[in-house]
Amino acid sequence: MIEVIGVAAEGLVSLTPEARAVLDDAEVVLGGARHLAMLEPRPGRERIPWPSPLRANLPAVLAMVAGRRVVVLASGDPLVSGVGSTLVDLLGADAVTIRPAVSSVSLARAEMRCGAEESEVVTLVGRHFDGLRRHLSPAARLITLTHGEDSPSRIAALLAEEGYAASRLTVLGDLGTPTQSRTDGIAGSWEHGAAPRLHLVCIECVPDPGSVARSLAPGLDDSTFDHDGQLTKRIIRAAALAHLAPQPGDVMWDLGAGAGSVGIEFARQHPRIRVYAVERDQLRAKRIRTNADRLGVPTLEVVVASAADATGILPAPDAIFIGGGANGSLIRSAWCVLRPGGRLVVHGVTVETEMTILAAHRLHGGVVSRIAVEDLEPIGSFTGWKPSRTITQWAATKPRPHPISTSEPETT
* Three-state SS letters, 293-352: HHCCCCCCEEECCCHHHHCCCCCCCCEEEECCCCCHHHHHHHHHHCCCCCEEEEEECCHH
* pLDDT, position 403: 72
> Is 91 strand, coil or helix?
helix
Where on the phi/psi map is residue 236: left (φ > 0), alpha (ψ -120 to 50), or beta? alpha
DSSP 131: G
- 1 pLDDT higher than 90: no
> Is 287 strand, coil or helix?
helix
- 88 pLDDT higher than 90: yes
Q: What percent of the chain has pLDDT over 90?
A: 85
> Is 181 strand, coil or helix?
strand
Question: DSSP labels for 365-410?
Answer: --EEEEE--EEEEEETTEEEEEEPPPEEEEEEEPPPPPPPP-SPPP
> Is 265 strand, coil or helix?
helix
- The residue-averaged pLDDT of 306-333 equals 93
Cβ atoms < 10 Å from Cβ of 151: 21
DSSP 233: -
- 350 pLDDT higher than 80: yes
| Helix 328-337 and helix 351-364, axial crossing angle in degrees, nearest 10 | 40
Q: Are 340 and 397 contacting, i.e. CB atoms less than 8 angstroms apart?
A: no
Quick: pLDDT tens for 171-181: 999 998 889 99
Helix (H) or strand (E) holding 264: helix 261-267
Quick: pLDDT tens for 95-138: 999 999 999 999 999 999 999 999 999 999 888 999 999 999 99
- 298 pLDDT higher than 80: yes
Q: What angle do CA 373, 379, 384 make, to 5 degrees?
A: 35
* pLDDT, position 397: 98
CA distance between the termini of the chain = 51
Bridging pattern class, strands 28-31 and 46-49: parallel
Quick: pLDDT tens for 237-264: 999 999 999 999 999 999 999 999 999 9
* pLDDT, position 10: 81
HSE of 329, CA atoms in CB hemisphere, 13 A: 6
* pLDDT, position 187: 97
412: confidence class by pLDDT, cuts 50, 70, 90: very low
Cβ atoms < 10 Å from Cβ of 331: 23
- The residue-averaged pLDDT of 328-337 equals 96
How far from 66 is each of 28, 60, 94, 98, CA to CA, in Å?
Answer: 10, 10, 15, 18
Domains within the chain, CATH numbers bracketed: 2-101 (3.40.1010.10), 105-204 (3.30.950.10), 222-397 (3.40.50.150)
Quick: pLDDT tens for 49-80: 999 888 889 999 999 999 999 999 998 999 98
Cβ atoms < 10 Å from Cβ of 9: 20
177 vs 398 pLDDT, higher one? 398
Q: Rounded to an integer, what distance in angstroms lies between the CA atom of residue 215 and that of residue 39?
A: 49
407: confidence class by pLDDT, cuts 50, 70, 90: low
Q: Are 361 and 394 contacting, i.e. CB atoms less than 8 angstroms apart?
A: yes
Q: Cα Rg for the chain, rounded, in angstroms? A: 26
Mean pLDDT of the chain: 93
